[in-house]
Structure 1
Amino acid sequence: MAGSDYTPPHWLRSPHVQTVLASSPWRRKRGAQRLAATGAVTTAHLVDGGDGVRLQGLHSALPGRRSRGLALLLHGWEGSTESSYMRLTAARLLECGFEVFRLNFRDHGGSHHLNEAIFHSNRIDEVVHAALDVAQRFPARPMVAAGYSLGGNFALRLGLRAPGAGLQLAGVASVCPVIDPARTMLYMERGHRLYLRHFERTWRASLRRKRELFPHHHAFDDATLGLGMRELTDWLVQTHTDFDSIDAYFDGYSVAGDRLSGLQVPADILMAADDPVIPLDAFHALALPAHARLELSRWGGHCGFLLDRRLDGFAEGWVTARLAAHADAAGGEGGLRTRLAAAVHAHAPGG
């Protein structure tokens, strides 16, 4: 465990300001502008999640430039490939010489029509299978992965499963990940209702869309959609999973305690002590291997870590630096010093 060197200006030291601004329309606009400015060519792809599952994602690369590796990015719950942090992180990685694949989870980013069954957080197998498909389609080596919030949880589980699945993953980075889902639910229920209400609203909209597309398979009524977060989750568990209780469901995707101790893939985790969505205590109880590192910041909110009025973020640079280090350690094309030297030369007078 180590402290983070992130220090925001005083006006950005409220966790609620950080969290709300991080998902604001202004930051989404900033992300779109920053990604467009890279000049990357982005193409949409359907990838194989196994057992007939199809997932959608976006591949971005700079034309005419040799890639130092492939970075897979995973968004949070009810986010998408077009979330601000996904675009901003993709931009930073592209500038650092990577090609990037941003993956939508099932039922995210307008992909509800691709699969009949509903998304839930234990669907890790299809993400592992999709990562293998992406690696085969874009065989730039090494491959690294990063995620935010629930995507951070998926990234850590991807790291756990990669060796057994035959996925050559050089390292993972995770920002404000869900560690203990049961504790996270309690934390949101006892905290500021703004966040619980946000997730309830967006999840209900997603379920309505699923019902519209597959009315014969999903015949739940509006009364079901009116349930609170815990009750709606319990309904999901009972009707759309093989788990016999909500506690078993939460335990199924928990990475708390010593569950990450078997990580064979190098991992970095960034967490804000003032996160209003994810409880901090689960991080102090983590048992991590020597090649996994936890960095705690005093500030940052939930996946915020904003730096200035332009709403640029510390986390995007942190992810890029950590993934670049893992890629270089795995023997990627061109070391970090070579890339930095080229960047300095390109921006120097007459360069």
Structure 2
Amino acid sequence: MVATFTPPRPLQNPHVQTILASLAPRKVAATIRASKLRKDSKEYILNCGNGIRLLGAISRNQKNSKGLVTLIHGWEGSIDSAYLLSAAGVLYEQGFNVFRLNLRDHGKSHHLNKALFNSTRLDEVVQAVAEIQRLFPHDHHFLTGFSLGGNFALRVGLRAASAALHLTKIATVSPLIDPVAATINLEEKHPVYHRYFVRKWKQSLRIKIQLYPDIDDQQTLLRLHSLTQMHDYFVPRHTDHPTTHAYLSAYKLSRQQLASLEIPTHIICSTDDPITAMPGGDLSTLSPIVDIEQVNFGGHCGFLQDFRLTSWADQRLVEIFQAATI
């Protein structure tokens, strides 16, 4: 469905929304607004089986909590990314306990596992959600993710029954649906975002190789200048897939997969998102329990509604999860 969200005119440009969502002024504002969440935050290293460990942080100081929300950041983000910290802070203020989960090699977690992160490592995220539920039982468990984190959240939802996960509701913001199309889109149409992700990925890989020098040749990274070049080098060496296309296709979400979700799910996205690639056609007909809330503004993980850089999507997450507890 097309919902109503109309920010002030200077914030209607999708690139303004996308870039401001992660810039320092938004980070400062989100950090200040999330001061209570951060004060009550405690780090946890989750054991996810087979010696795999993921880092996260729990904030729980609600005597009558409405439930526990687990949040997953986007690619090369972290539990302290501005958009995630903003949403977590709002949810916490509104009576939800919050667990912010770092994916492997994100945030300050590069040292925890030797093998490199790749986006098909779903098992450990499923196990992390199961471990969160074991450690912090609540009547209601919610899962939300942003961009690639939204992709992970949706795939966790597809595995929920087989993994015996108790999820009341899933909600995602600007989820990555088609990694193949998104990569082509970045390289061909958006050089600024493309360079940003190349730079961020190289930074992460350098940290990893400094910690584990035998894992790969750090100098090779300096010679690669596009996501395709980096994937072509990385995929056959560090994933179970022979080619870049096979790897990116492995975590693409088809319409059939989305329609088969058995957990009530809400997808927040914008028609002007310059980064992700939503599937074509009428998304509102996917499934009775998959609600697509598609707005005309918001860019990628932005949805900034005013000049204080607060997010309309944050309040929508509160409303969505509150409604699920009634």
TM-score category (smaller protein): over 0.9
Match of 1:100 among 95, 98, 101: 98
1:117 maps to: 115
Q: Deviations over 1:181-233 (max 9, x none)?
A: 10111111121211000000000000001110000223343356524111111
Letter of the aligned partner of 1:150 in structure 2? L
Output aligned runs, 1:256-267, within 5 Å: 256-267=254-265
User: What is the alpha-carbon distance in structure 1 between the residues aligned to residue 309 and residue 260 of structure 2?
Assistant: 37
**For residue 85 of structure 1, what is the aligned residue in structure 2?**
83
DSSP-derived class of the 2:168 partner: strand
Residues 107-152 of structure 1: per-residue CA shift (max 9 Å, x gap): 0002100000010110111000000001000001210100000001
Coordinate RMSD, CA, aligned: 1.6
| Separation of aligned partners in 2, 1:111 and 1:12 | 34
Shift of 1:270: 0.9
- Post-superposition Cα deviations, 1:9-54, rounded to whole Å, max 9, x if no partner, equal 1110101111111111011111111111468511000002221110
CA 224–238 in structure 1, closer or farther in 2 if over 3 Å, else same:
farther
Equivalent residue for 2:307?
309
Taking the aligned partners of 2:84 and 2:215, their CA distance within structure 1 comes to: 32
**Equivalent of 2:170 in 169, 172, 178:** 172
Determine the structure 2 residue equivalent to 1:12.
11
Tell me what 1:219 maps to. 217
Judge which range, 300-309 or 185-194, deviates more. 185-194
1: CA distance, partners of 2:293 / 2:203:
35
Q: Describe the shift of the 1:205–1:287 C-alpha distance in structure 2 as closer, same or farther (beyond 3 A).
A: farther
Question: Deviation of residue 281 (structure 1)?
Answer: 4.8
Pick which of 160-169 and 86-95 moved more.
86-95
Aligned residues: 326
Alignment of 1:52 onto 2:58: no
Distance 1:155 1:283 in 2: 22
Q: CA deviation at 1:321?
A: 1.4
Query: Which whole-Å CA distance do the structure 1 matches of 2:281 and 2:147 have between them?
Result: 13
What secondary structure does 1:106 align onto? coil
Give 5+ residue unaligned stretches, structure 1: 329-334, 336-351
Match of 1:25 in 2: 24
Which residue matches 2:41? Answer: 42
Deviation digits for residues 239-269 of structure 1 (CA, Å, limit 9, x no counterpart): 0011122121112111122121210000000
**1:225/1:105 Cα in 2 relative to 1: closer, same or farther (>3 Å)?**
farther
1:270 equivalent to 2:278? Answer no
Query: Does structure 2 conserve the Cα–Cα contact (< 8 Å) formed by 1:128 and 1:165?
Result: yes
Unaligned residue ranges in structure 2 (runs of 5+): none
Answer yes or no: is the 8 Å Cα contact 1:256–1:282 preserved in 2.
Answer: no
1:230 aligned residue: 228
Q: Paired residue for 2:183?
A: 185
- Identical columns (%): 39
TM-score relative to the length of structure 2? 0.96
1:101 alignment partner, SS class: strand
Match of 1:253 in 2: 251
Q: What is the 5 A alignment of 1:280-299?
A: 280-282=278-280, 284=282, 288-299=286-297
What SS does the aligned partner of 1:114 have? coil
Q: What's the offset of the Cα at 1:96?
A: 2.0
Corresponding residue to 2:127 among 126, 129, 132? 129
Question: How far apart, CA to CA, are the structure 2 residues paired with 1:17 and 1:237?
Answer: 33
Show CA shifts across 1:314-342 (max 9, x none): 0111112112222x1xxxxxx5xxxxxxx
What is the match of residue 319 of structure 1?
317
Structure 1 SS opposite 2:234 = helix
CA 1:223–1:205 in structure 2 vs 1: closer, same or farther (change >3 Å)?
Answer: closer
Distance in 2 between residues matched to 1:39 and 1:204, nearest whole Å: 29
TM-score of the superposition, structure 1-length normalised?
A: 0.89
Q: Is the contact between residue 56 and residue 111 of structure 1 (CA under 8 Å) also seen in structure 2?
A: yes
1:68–1:142 Cα contact (<8 Å) kept: yes
User: Distance in 1 between the 2:229 and 2:321 partners?
Assistant: 38
